[in-house]
């Protein structure tokens, strides 16, 4: 914990700077142009738009480009001003934006998938275009030759993607709730391992190359932090959403994970805190506190003439307990539970007020967010939504 008197960078409440409206359908993805008063967006309405802030203070399109099919995903590389757009048809189209962001020229097209491209990533260091698709595949192309380098079939629709440049590992999330880790070579790949921990589909992935941590968000409302750099196989669950987790991003300079949920909630997680893994749930045929039998334990029920009880688990110690012995509720932020969860009486006594201090802040974006992007150059957060709106938020940290 931070020592008293030591200045602590804290994120301010997100302050709404601008609303960008005009898209005719869901804005599937958008990004702030670094160091510019501009935003690039792709929408279900088949358009790619570049919005530049005018003297009036409003954002107006400087580029408005219609595509033959809905635009489902995008990746923008500021150094080369290269924009890769994934389409509902399965194609990935590449464009180059002019220096003043008033013009966009078509460069290349890749027939990457059979249907909707769920995520596209352009990696300048390798000149690779990586993509995942609803056709249950992950593919990568050479952006110089346009040639397909390889394909990996996933067991379910591939929904999201991250890449570690240093070790050339790709992380592919899918609808089955699994994350597959692939080691990519120039034209082949091998499965390193799979992460299984979610009970719903993977909706978002975020990679922190500095701490070597992977974050996965799921429709099961949870986020799992997979500590790869720690090399101990630690996986920590973060519970802070009441609905599907839709999108994740990471603010490196403040070490904060930002997650958005289908309920419009933005949660800012302080990742400077050391969290503990949740315990495995213990199995028992009777309450591990009062010894009352659970309902399937007919023998003990008969022998002791007792009624069988339902089994519950304490989230802190993992013990199997009856309802009476686990009637207390507490948040356990250091185990990732920002909401109150079931704990046993013993654990309830051991949790101090200090332990209950939240390690995340909660904000209402007031729209159904489908994608979130953080621009480190300005400390801006961008949310785009089902309501066809893009919102820009100031997240500049304040030192308190």
Contact 359, 338 (CB under 8 A): yes
Asked if 282 interacts with Zn ion (CB under 5 A), we say: no
Which residue, 290 or 376, is less far from Zn ion as judged by CB?
290
Pairwise CA distance, residues 91 & 112, whole Å: 5
Asked if 335 interacts with Zn ion (CB under 5 A), we say: no
Cα of first residue to Cα of last residue in the chain, in angstroms, is 15
Which residue, 76 or 337, is less far from Zn ion as judged by CB?
337
- Cα–Cα distances (Å) from 164 to 16, 181, 184, in that order, read 32, 10, 10
Which residue, 33 or 334, is less far from Zn ion as judged by CB?
334
**Binds Zn ion (CB under 5 A): choice among 160, 322, 335, 341:** 322
> Listing from the earlier edge strand, what are the strands of the sheet with 328-332?
202-208, 213-218, 222-227, 235-239, 337-343, 328-332
> Listing from the earlier edge strand, what are the strands of the sheet with 380-385?
15-20, 390-394, 380-385, 369-375
Q: Report, in Å, the least distance between residue 314 CB and Zn ion.
A: 3
Contact 25, 388 (CB under 8 A): yes
Of the listed pieces 189-197, 212-220, 261-269, 321-329, which binds Zn ion according to CB under 5 A?
Answer: 321-329
Asked if 344 interacts with Zn ion (CB under 5 A), we say: yes
Q: Report, in Å, the least distance between residue 329 CB and Zn ion.
A: 12
* Phi then psi dihedrals of residue 256, to 5 deg: -125, 135
Q: Report, in Å, the least distance between residue 309 CB and Zn ion.
A: 7
What count of Cα atoms within 13 Å lies in the side-chain half-sphere of residue 323? 4
Asked if 347 interacts with Zn ion (CB under 5 A), we say: yes
For 60, the enclosing helix (H) or strand (E) is: strand 59-66
Of the listed pieces 146-154, 167-175, 339-347, 379-387, which binds Zn ion according to CB under 5 A?
Answer: 339-347
Which residue, 111 or 290, is less far from Zn ion as judged by CB?
290
User: 3-class SS at 302?
Assistant: helix
Q: Report, in Å, the least distance between residue 5 CB and Zn ion.
A: 35
Which residue, 342 or 367, is less far from Zn ion as judged by CB?
342
Which residue, 260 or 314, is less far from Zn ion as judged by CB?
314
Residues 58-77 that bind Zn ion (CB under 5 A): none
Which residue, 169 or 342, is less far from Zn ion as judged by CB?
342
Q: Report, in Å, the least distance between residue 241 CB and Zn ion.
A: 24
Where do runs of H (alpha helix) occur along the chain?
A: 298-304, 345-350
In 10 A of CB 290, how many CB atoms? 11
Which residue, 3 or 307, is less far from Zn ion as judged by CB?
307
CA 72 from centroid of its chain's CA atoms = 17
Q: Report, in Å, the least distance between residue 303 CB and Zn ion.
A: 17
Asked if 316 interacts with Zn ion (CB under 5 A), we say: yes
Binding site for Zn ion (CB under 5 A): 287, 289-290, 314, 316-317, 322, 325, 344, 347
């Amino acid at each position: 914990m931070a020592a008293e008197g030591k200045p602590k960078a804290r994120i301010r409440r997100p302050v709404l700077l601008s609303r960008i409206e005009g898209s005719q359908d869901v804005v599937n993805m958008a990004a702030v142009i670094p160091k510019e008063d501009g935003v690039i967006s792709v929408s279900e309405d088949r358009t790619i738009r570049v919005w530049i802030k005018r003297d009036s203070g409003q954002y107006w399109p400087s580029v408005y480009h219609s595509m033959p099919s809905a635009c489902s995903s995008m990746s923008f590389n500021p150094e080369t001003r290269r924009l890769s757009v994934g389409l509902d048809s399965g194609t990935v189209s590449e464009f180059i934006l002019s220096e003043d962001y008033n013009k966009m020229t078509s460069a290349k097209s890749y027939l990457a998938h059979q249907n909707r491209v769920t995520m596209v990533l352009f990696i300048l260091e390798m000149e690779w275009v990586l993509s995942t698709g609803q056709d249950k595949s992950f593919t990568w192309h050479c952006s110089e030759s346009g040639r397909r380098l390889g394909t990996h079939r996933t067991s379910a629709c591939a929904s999201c993607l991250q890449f570690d440049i240093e070790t050339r590992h790709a992380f592919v999330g899918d609808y089955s709730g699994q994350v597959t880790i692939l080691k990519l070579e120039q034209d082949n790949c091998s499965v390193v391992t799979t992460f299984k921990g979610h009970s719903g589909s993977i909706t978002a992935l975020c990679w922190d190359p500095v701490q070597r941590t992977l974050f996965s968000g799921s429709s099961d409302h949870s986020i799992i932090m997979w500590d790869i750099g720690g090399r101990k196989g630690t996986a920590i669950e973060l519970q802070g959403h009441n609905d599907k987790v839709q999108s994740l991003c990471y603010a490196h300079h403040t070490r904060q994970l930002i997650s958005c949920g289908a309920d419009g909630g933005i949660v800012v997680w302080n990742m400077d805190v050391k969290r503990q893994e949740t315990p495995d749930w213990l199995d028992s045929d009777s309450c591990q506190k009062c010894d009352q039998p659970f309902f399937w334990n007919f023998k003990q029920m008969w022998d002791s003439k007792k009624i069988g009880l339902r089994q519950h688990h304490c989230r802190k110690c993992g013990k199997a307990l009856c309802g009476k012995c686990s009637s207390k509720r507490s948040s356990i932020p250091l185990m990732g539970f920002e909401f109150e969860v079931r704990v046993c009486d013993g654990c309830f006594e051991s949790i101090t007020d200090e332990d209950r201090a939240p390690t995340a802040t909660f904000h209402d974006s007031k729209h159904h967010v489908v994608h979130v992007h953080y621009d480190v150059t300005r400390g801006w957060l961008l949310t785009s939504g089902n309501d066809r709106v893009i919102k820009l938020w100031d997240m500049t940290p304040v030192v308190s």
